[in-house]
Amino acid sequence: MTLQRIAILGAESTGKSTLAPALAARYDTLWVPEYLREFVETRQRVPHEEDQFGIARTQRAREDAMAASSDARRFLFCDTTPLMTAVYSRIYWGRVPPELLALEAEHDYALTLVAGLDLPWVPDGLQRESEAVRQQVHECLLAVLRERGIPFTLVEGDLPRRMRQVEALLG
């Protein structure tokens, strides 16, 4: 059976990093953590525009490495993708560099999930800015997905409800 990559996208503080490992545990497979979180923690700063392509490239490389692992079974849950990095480039710098656009165009996932805004916004140091920015990112993400014709499922509710929503989609 071919490994299916599942993209879990969403603005900050929407539960992606809680949902991804829970789904991986449920399906006895792997998940790919969000590299941006590691970037911010290790460098103690938010990314600059020139960091965006490297962040997206590292995210995709880690995803490819996990997909090649024998521990990846049936599904690989990806806590963000280069498409999300490109969304942030649109928000913060008003443009997406060509090399990042090329990575964004490789959005080839079996299923794209978008985490809803119904969870409370929680500040998280450098990585989270405000509830207003979270709303802006969410709206930009939905617009990009629609413009690109990428089907997606909005997942909402607490973790058990989100799990049930995804389980209904994956079987």
Q: Catalogue the E-assigned strands of the chain.
A: 4-9, 30-32, 75-79, 111-115, 153-155
Q: Mean pLDDT across the stretch 2-22?
A: 95
- Rounded to the nearest 5°, which phi and psi values hold at 31? -135, 155
Q: Name residue 95's amino acid.
A: R
Q: Is the pTM of this model over 0.75?
A: yes
Q: What is the rounded distance in angstroms from the CA atom of residue 63 to the CA atom of residue 78?
A: 7
Domain spanning 4-170: which superfamily? P-loop containing nucleotide triphosphate hydrolases (3.40.50.300)
What tens digit of pLDDT does each residue of 30-78 get? 999 999 989 988 998 889 999 999 999 999 999 999 999 999 999 999 9
| Residue environment code for 41-61, b if the CB has 16+ CB neighbours within 10 A, otherwise e | eeeeeebeeeebbebbbbbbe
Residue 128: per-residue pLDDT: 56
Mean pLDDT estimate for the chain: 93
What tens digit of pLDDT does each residue of 108-130 get? 999 999 999 998 877 766 555 78
Closest alpha carbon to 138 in 126, 125, 155: 155
